[in-house]
């Protein structure tokens, strides 16, 4: 596990944000003054079961002093491809199953949740990991949860609201990436893909943009998340797309103690965008 923690834990109430998937987890604690107390990322390397992921979370809470204090706010972020985006005008909370059943295989006991992005007239319909939610409810009582795409779409639409360009955002994770495409401030596509190699990534990227009739000479590909500037994913993308860049958080300036390595503006985008 990549760990960066400030060991000088005090009694200040912090906000905890934890992002959970079957392939990894990450968390951040931050106070009201934008001081990051701890930030960690754990890429599992393989896809685990929901029960194994819960055991990972329990182990993280048991061993990490940064998670022993009190939190005034706790937010769980579910990262998976079990979601769809529905325009607010077409949304009916009694039809949640209908929105998902054509895109994913639903099980009889699946719990379906939704996030409303009122400012953008969009609703994210998705399946959270209920055992993870149950753990946080039993442990802390009060908490909120959202889907990764909700935070991505909300943050990126706010950034792009006055843009006259087409931007393709790739939020990178170890085994998957989220693709968000915005044209002149309007959401065109939100989807997630699994990848094992840079060629997988390039295939899904180029196929999707071709279907949308986007010219790789014209749009900008902006990387977010778990990717370095010397990555082979960046290199291969630049062979086929003229404009490739790295994104940034929404103007927030976080204060890091000396015990935490500097964070690039595009890294931990989901964890840090909504504080």
Residue 151: helix, strand or coil by DSSP? helix
pLDDT tens digits for range 106-115: 988 899 999 9
Write out the two tokens for 204: 């899904």
Domain ranges of the chain: 2-79+253-273, 160-246
- Structure tokens, 213: 């009739």
pLDDT, one tens digit per residue, over 135-177 is 999 988 889 999 999 999 999 999 999 999 999 999 999 899 9
Please write the tens of the pLDDT for every residue from 209-225: 999 999 999 999 999 99
pLDDT value of position 115: 97
Domain pair 2-79+253-273 / 160-246, same fold: yes
pLDDT band per the 50, 70, 90 thresholds, residue 6: very low
CATH topology of domain 2-79+253-273: Nucleotidyltransferase; domain 5 (3.30.420)
Residue 13 scores a pLDDT above 70: no
Quick one: which of 132, 157, 181, 117 has its CA closest to 19? 132
- Topology (CATH level 3) of domain 160-246: Nucleotidyltransferase; domain 5 (3.30.420)
Of residues 251 and 250, more confidently modeled = 250
Give which of 146, 165, 170 is closest to 234, Cα–Cα. Answer: 170
In the numeric block, which tokens belong to residue 201? 């990534």
């Amino acid at each position: 596990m990549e760990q960066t923690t400030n060991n000088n834990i005090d009694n200040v109430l912090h906000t905890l944000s934890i992002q959970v998937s079957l392939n990894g987890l990450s968390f951040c604690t931050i106070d009201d003054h934008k001081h990051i107390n701890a930030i960690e990322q754990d890429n599992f390397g393989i896809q685990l079961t929901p029960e194994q992921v819960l055991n990972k979370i329990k182990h993280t809470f048991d061993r990490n002093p940064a998670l022993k204090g009190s939190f005034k706010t706790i937010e769980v972020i579910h990262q998976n491809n079990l979601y769809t985006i529905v325009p607010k005008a077409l949304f009916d909370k009694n039809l949640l199953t209908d929105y998902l059943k054509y895109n994913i295989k639903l099980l009889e006991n699946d719990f379906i949740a939704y996030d409303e992005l009122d400012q953008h007239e969009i609703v994210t319909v998705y399946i959270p990991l209920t055992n993870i939610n149950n753990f946080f409810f039993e442990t802390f009582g009060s908490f909120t949860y959202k889907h990764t795409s909700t935070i991505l779409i909300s943050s990126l639409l706010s950034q792009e609201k006055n843009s006259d360009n087409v931007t393709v955002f790739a939020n990178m994770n170890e085994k998957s990436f989220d693709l968000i495409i915005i044209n002149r401030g309007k959401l065109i596509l939100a989807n997630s893909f699994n990848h094992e190699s840079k060629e997988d990534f390039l295939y899904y990227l180029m196929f999707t943009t071709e279907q949308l009739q986007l010219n790789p000479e014209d749009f900008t590909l902006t990387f977010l998340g778990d990717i370095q500037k010397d990555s082979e994913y960046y290199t291969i993308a630049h062979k086929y797309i003229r404009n490739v860049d790295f994104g940034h958080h929404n103007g927030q300036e976080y204060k890091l103690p000396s015990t935490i390595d500097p964070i690039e503006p595009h890294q931990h985008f989901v964890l840090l965008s909504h504080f």
